[in-house]
Amino acid sequence: MLQLWLQRFSKEVIARDSVSSSIVYLADGYEAVLRCDPFEQLRLKKDGVNWEENFRGHTDSTGPQSVSFDVSFYGAEFVYGILEHAASLALKPTRGPGIEFSEPYRLFNLDVFKYLHESPFGIYGSIPFMISHGKAQGTSGFFWLNAVEMQIDVLGDGWNAGESKISLPSDQKRIDTLWMSEAGVIDAFFFVGPGPKDVELYDEEDVEQVDSKVDEYDIPYDVLWHDIDHTDRKRYFTWDKVLFPHLEEMQNKLAAKGRHMVTIVDPHIKRDDSYFIHKEATEKGQYVKDANGKDYDGWCWPGSSSYLDMLSPEVRAWWADKFSYENYVGSTPSLYNWNDINKPSVFNGPEVTMPRDALHVGGWELGVELHNAYGYYFHMGTAGGLLKQGDGKDRPFVLSRAFFAGSQRYGAIWTGDNTAEWEQLRVSVPMVLSVGLTGLTFSGANVGAFFGNPELELLVRWYQLESYYPFFRGHAHHDTKRREPWLFG
């Protein structure tokens, strides 16, 4: 179904179309063309026809469907946006003479280890917002509010020369784009237009040592970070009491210097009957269901895990209560949170994520209708928990890896698992700029990269460049070498 609020429009038959199209008024001097030739096609499934798709042992039973349309940006010289990809700031053509990319830009939140630079492949977050710019017409934009998997082609000059039957209303200079989604409605918006250093640590002694060293060398920083190893057997809202025996004292010492601590909280919940979060979520029916209506069971860091149905307001309210000082034992007002692998990541799932026929509240299928919004709602729920913890008086900080349009309301994001290569340092610039153009101004990249051990020159340059990014954090894989600045002499 197409639903648009049209202030005024007219009908006109364009070129060889068999039906008239709608010429829609947007603003003075600006119009949009909605072509309907035809707009919708429905096919009935015949007996004996199998619409299921198989991928590496996984079965997608949702059946074929799609929504697609063209958007042309007149007077444009460049287009930007449609996150997230490790590619140039200005989007390169994916179809046409002399193209560099042979595939469309994909918007599908995935847990991608060691992503490739100069690739149209989708990674951790998605925002289907494209911005165009040209000297003649200035800047304009198009946003499709749709959380379903999406593929977008940017068509190069001459893409339809001599072979395409498509005719457009004008030969005026433009950039043509093709948008295709697996499902959803066309809820579209036209825009006509005219930090400090962070360190991740292992135990309480490590916290104290690093904190004293940065003071000794007069290095400014705001936050110390803890990944999943700080927990008791990878169960969120818990601490390893052997590694961190004096939780509140440790945090209060940092807070006295104006510093904070961040712990990781992810959406996968360890299936352990002795774990209070899992026990309560199971009893209350708070998990995403599989196609058979049972609690979905996937594999993630803790092993066998289930995933909270964060699209439900009731589940988000329940989740918010877990951040209270009573439930999150050992937390203090100076402790904030970080949401990782919230695409969501399922290590044994298709494309390292949840099956498309997983069911949410109301019977919505995650992969078909809502996949790219899952991380957004988890980010929302966590920020809501910290806001409730502070009685609405303290602005929460929540870092997220997955994101969608509007994620800037709830916290920062970063560009994920980069590698220690010069090309990855270079591509971080257009990645962060692209994120900013689409509204997420609080972002950055891992200093020195997540994978690999950077050479000294590369690490120095990374520090220099990152100082200009809104979000600055050193975060690396636990198998890499430590890289605090004083370790290099």
**Which of the residues are catalytic?**
340, 417
Give the DSSP letter of residue 280.
H
C-alpha 194/C-alpha 399 separation (Å) is 33
| Token pair listed for 472 | 């600055």
Report, in this order, helix, strand and coil percent for the chain, each rounded to 5: 20, 25, 55
Largest pairwise CA distance in the chain? 76
Give residue 49's identity as a one-letter amino acid code.
V
| Cβ contact 221:254 at 8 Å | no
Q: Which is nearest to 467 in space by CA: 440, 437, 432?
A: 432
Helix or strand or coil: residue 61?
Answer: coil
Give the CA dihedral 399, 196, 470, 144, nearest 10 degrees. 0
| Cβ contact 105:67 at 8 Å | no
C-alpha 461/C-alpha 249 separation (Å) is 36
Give residue 125's identity as a one-letter amino acid code.
G
Dihedral sign from CA coordinates of 164, 166, 167, 169: negative
- Which phi and psi (to 5°) does residue 419 adopt? -120, 155
Helix or strand or coil: residue 223?
Answer: strand
Helices (H), 310-453: 313-321, 374-389, 422-437
Residue 412's H or E segment, with its range, is strand 412-414
C-alpha 322/C-alpha 386 separation (Å) is 9
| Cβ contact 273:279 at 8 Å | yes
Give the CA dihedral 181, 182, 186, 187, nearest 10 degrees. -80
Measured CA angle at 439 (ends 434, 440), to 5 deg: 75
| Token pair listed for 146 | 């749709």
